[in-house]
Chain A
Amino acid sequence: DAEITQSPRHKITETGRQVTLACHQTWNHNNMFWYRQDLGHGLRLIHYSYGVHDTNKGEVSDGYSVSRSNTEDLPLTLESAASSQTSVYFCASSDLDYGYTFGSGTRLTVV
């Protein structure tokens, strides 16, 4: 069955370190997204991609970057982790006819 997987599930890192969160989907969807979820804010869009080599900034993109070298993967990089980036991160892929399919999330703690 097609799926979307995120790794790691949990990560603790230190302030200032570079961190990369992985997202892999086997739906063959062109559209992929990264969201962060925080209490009181719901889900906010960080970056998104509509295809290979296409990347776009979302609502809360500062301090984050993505790259899309193939259809299956959209890694999210925190260039220099900050405590404000402690959050739960969700990756999603989309075929508009169906809607989004979400991964199980990565809980990131920056200490």
Chain B
Amino acid sequence: AQSVTQPDIHITVSEGASLELRCNYSYGATPYLFWYVQSPGQGLQLLLKYFSGDTLVQGIKGFEAEFKRSQSSFNLRKPSVHWSDAAEYFCAASGAGSYQLTFGKGTKLSVIP
């Protein structure tokens, strides 16, 4: 079955530190991959997406993600975290050409001032 796994339920980092959120997928073929962010009480906002091509993807708010086929991973990174980055982050995937997204269970990010 197709699945998306986010191994870390909760991560705490200090403001200014670097960040990496992990995401692994299990799909028959390379899926389309997405990262979303959700602030408390809000909907989900798209940070970045990968369809094909360059495996390093730049997104909004200074985030980037790297697709690694050999590891079935699509990890999200940010070089320097700001207090406003505290939120929940969801990795999601869909089969190529499909419109259905499968979400990971999310990683909650806390930022220490």
| Minimum CB–CB distance for B26 against chain A, Å | 15
One of B32, B49, B106 near A42 (C-beta < 8 A): B106
Contact with B along A83-111 (1 / 0, CB 8 A): 00000001010101011111111000000
Task: With CB as the reference atom, state the residue of chain A lying closest to B91.
Answer: A42
| Minimum CB–CB distance for B100 against chain A, Å | 6
Contacts known (A42-B90, A43-B90); A100 close to B46, Cβ less than 8 A? yes
In the bound complex, residues from chain B placing their C-beta under 8 Å from that of A99 are 34, 46, 49
Classify the secondary structure of A's interface with B. strand
Contact with A along B73-113 (1 / 0, CB 8 A): 00000000000000000100010010111111110000000
What's the interface size class on A, roughly?
A: 20 to 34
Decide yes or no whether B17 CB sits under 8 A from chain A: no
Q: By the criterion CB–CB under 8 Å, are B43 and A40 in contact?
A: no
One of A44, A58, A90, A98 near B43 (C-beta < 8 A): A90
Q: By the criterion CB–CB under 8 Å, are B99 and A50 in contact?
A: yes
Task: With CB as the reference atom, state the residue of chain A lying closest to B101.
Answer: A100
In the bound complex, residues from chain A placing their C-beta under 8 Å from that of B34 are 99-100
Contacts known (A99-B34, A99-B49); A42 close to B103, Cβ less than 8 A? yes
| Minimum CB–CB distance for B89 against chain A, Å | 11
Contacts known (A43-B90, A99-B49); A105 close to B43, Cβ less than 8 A? yes
- Interface on B for A, CB 8 Å cutoff? 32, 34, 36, 41-46, 49, 90, 94, 97, 99-106
26 contacts between A and B (CB under 8 A): A31-B99, A33-B100, A42-B105, A43-B44, A45-B100, A45-B101, A48-B99, A48-B100, A58-B100, A90-B44, A96-B32, A96-B94, A96-B99, A98-B46, A99-B34, A100-B34, A100-B36, A100-B44, A101-B46, A102-B43, A102-B45, A103-B43, A104-B42, A104-B43, A105-B41, A105-B42
- Interface on A for B, CB 8 Å cutoff? 31, 33, 35, 40-45, 48, 50, 58, 90, 92, 94, 96, 98-105
